[in-house]
Amino acid sequence: MNDPGITESDVLSCVTSGDQLDHRGYQGNIHTGQVGEHKILVKSAAGRGPAAWLNRRMLRREYLIYERLAGISGIPRCFGYFMGRYLVLENVDAQTLRDGTITDRDGYFVEMLEIIKAIHERGIAHGDLKRKENVLVTRDSRPCLIDFGVSVFRKPGFHPFNHFRHNFSHQHDFNAWVKHKYNRNYQEISPEDAKYYQPLLIELIARHIKRAWTKLKRIFKTSTDKS
């Protein structure tokens, strides 16, 4: 359901004359603007032909997930999905986990875990929280989770493939929380947090590839520095 306070023309004027975020995502562009008291952020589905169709479907799916998560503190408010291609969200006053400053680390990560549990309770596993761009630090140093583009909703009934994907993403969310909390220093995980960390096979493989790649780059750099 679209918010009655925001109209199609508000959304169009944000897309045509609002500020564009310096970001090109998988689906399209992001614009920000102000409508009355609301600071809004518009995610647009771009592309042509089959790509456009797919992007619109994905963005609509993301909209439905934001709707399911309505009211959870730490998830941006969703104002609706307009004209079959614009997802309109509250523009949170925040920076990404990559750029933001956390003043109270313990409090921040306790709250982030609560948000993850709250979205899981609504049947949604995020699935892409390892990316620091999908975790925000608000101006008052609190967590906010965004980008439900690859999230998985657990379907009731017998859906083995869906349940497999959901369980995978569910664990992935907790592993992401541990990764951020401990800054990848997995050997420092407290006994209390150890129960949340169960590395998935694919994560272990990815970590080995990443380490080998970093090592290779270092070797290459030292050999070019010497020559």
Ligand X SMILES: Nc1ncnc2c1ncn2[C@@H]1O[C@H](COP(=O)(O)OP(=O)(O)O)[C@@H](O)[C@H]1O
Task: Determine if 92 is a binding residue for ligand X (CB under 6 A).
Answer: yes
- Rounded to the nearest 10°, the torsion over CA 126, 127, 131, 136 is 10
Task: Determine if 147 is a binding residue for Mg ion (CB under 5 A).
Answer: yes
Among 11, 45, 94, 176, binds ligand X (CB under 6 A): 94
Residue number of the CB closest to Mg ion reads: 147
Residue with tokens 């399911």, as numbered in its chain? 68
Among positions 8-67, residues that touch ligand X (CB under 6 A) are 21, 23, 25-27, 30, 41
Alpha-carbon gap, residue 116 to 89, rounded angstroms:
19
Choose the one of Mg ion, ligand X, none that binds residue 92, judging by a C-beta under 5 to 8 angstroms depending on kind: ligand X
> Nearer Cβ to Mg ion, position 18 or 149?
149
> Nearer Cβ to Mg ion, position 133 or 193?
133
The amino acid sitting at 121 is E
List residues bridging with 153 in a β-sheet. 124
Cβ atoms 63, 43 nearer than 8 A: no
Task: Determine if 96 is a binding residue for ligand X (CB under 6 A).
Answer: yes
User: What are the tokens at 203?
Assistant: 């994560």
122 φ/ψ angles, rounded to the nearest 5 degrees? -90, 10
Cβ atoms 153, 68 nearer than 8 A: yes
Among 14, 65, 89, 116, binds ligand X (CB under 6 A): 89
Contacts with Mg ion, residue ranges (CB under 5 A) = 133-134, 147
Contacts with ligand X, residue ranges (CB under 6 A) = 21, 23, 25-27, 30, 41, 76, 89-92, 94, 96, 133-134, 146-147, 149
